[in-house]
Amino acid sequence: MNTQSQSVFRFYNNLKLGQKLSVILLLIFIVGSLLSGIALSHVLTKNTEREITSQALILMDTMNSVRDYTSTQIKPELDDRLQEEFLPQTVPAYSATEVFQNLRQNQNYEQFFYKEATLNPTNPRDKADDFETQIIQKFRSGSIAKSVEGFRQIDDQEIFYIARPLQIKKSSCLECHSTPDVAPVSMIKRYGAERGFNWNLNEIIGSQIVSVPASTVIESARSAFILTMSIVLGIFASVILLINFWLRKTVVRPVVRMTKTAEMVSQGDMEIEFIKSSGDEIGELADSFSRMKTSFMLAMKKLNEMRRKNKEAN
């Protein structure tokens, strides 16, 4: 044990019982608060991520509904016109992206971003970047089955993302994306014949990605942390204070009172009594001191009697 530890140990040993209890309870409060804060911060961050992920998955399902509506009800009605004029509004990916942009006008969703990242897209804006390409390749290889989430950096900004595979499940999609010779002429004129072809049925060609700035996750978790931690600390502090008050009332004060009584008895005051205030161990200690006082009085009486007889005999 080093010198500093010895000094602390001596300092603690020299404290009164009430002070020792206060120090111990204070240490419990500090350590408990730190551990609770660390655990609570982790739990709330994960909970916030789960909530945002849940919202993102709902948004993806909504966009899938928009895609299905576009491909099954909008596009068939305009097939004849598409041979003369290409309408991007009939493309499921385009309609889903545009609907999401409108949805972002709602302040509840303005922090969310949506992209149908594709390896070989018709529209250049859907081209997957290097990070998104890695995610798509993992979906294609089967190393990720349904969805993936995490953090990434975009232009020095940390982003929290949720991604799901984008798979060709309907043969109608191949009318525009199988080979250039069967694609609408108007589409070829607009986008060319180099991109967005040679797709196959059931092939994973991209990924739906919903993202939000990491600051949104952090701020949401921080707000919840401050509120919850304030409540926890308030309850914890109240409990510590109540325990401190109870220990001082039921342990420290009776012990101090018995100490003073014992000191007065040792000085010859036999009229004072040890007060028993409870039936617990402190009360039993008061009974023990009372018996000790009685025994002490009897011993002193016998001693005085012996002294008197010796004096008479001499």
Per-residue pLDDT of the chain (314 residues; tens, 9 = 90+): 566 667 766 766 666 777 777 778 788 888 888 888 888 888 888 888 888 888 888 888 888 898 888 888 887 777 777 667 777 777 888 888 888 889 888 888 888 899 999 998 888 888 999 999 999 999 988 877 788 888 888 888 888 999 999 888 877 777 777 788 777 777 787 788 888 888 888 889 999 999 888 877 777 777 888 888 888 888 888 888 888 788 777 777 877 787 887 788 777 777 777 777 777 777 777 778 778 878 877 877 888 888 888 877 76
Q: What is the pLDDT of residue 133?
A: 92
Domains of the chain as residue ranges with CATH? 40-225 (no CATH), 226-313 (1.10.287)
Q: What is the pLDDT of residue 4?
A: 67
Instruction: Cite the beta strand spans of 179-306 per DSSP E.
Output: 204-213
DSSP per-residue letters across 72-141:
IIITGGGHHHHTTS--GGGSHHHHHHHHHHHHTTSTTTTT-EEEEEESS-SSGGGB--HHHHHHHHHHHH
Burial status of residue 256 (CB atoms within 10 A of its CB: 0-12, 13-18, 19 or more): middle
Q: Could you give the CA distance from residue 200 to residue 172 in angstroms, rounded to a whole number?
A: 11
Q: Could you give the CA distance from residue 17 to residue 298 in angstroms, rounded to a whole number?
A: 32
Q: Over 139-153, what HEC string results?
A: HHHCCCCCCEEEEEE
Report whether 162 contacts 149 (CB < 8 A).
Answer: yes
Q: Could you give the CA distance from residue 26 to residue 48 in angstroms, rounded to a whole number?
A: 32
Q: What is the pTM of this model?
A: 0.63
Q: What is the pLDDT of residue 2?
A: 63
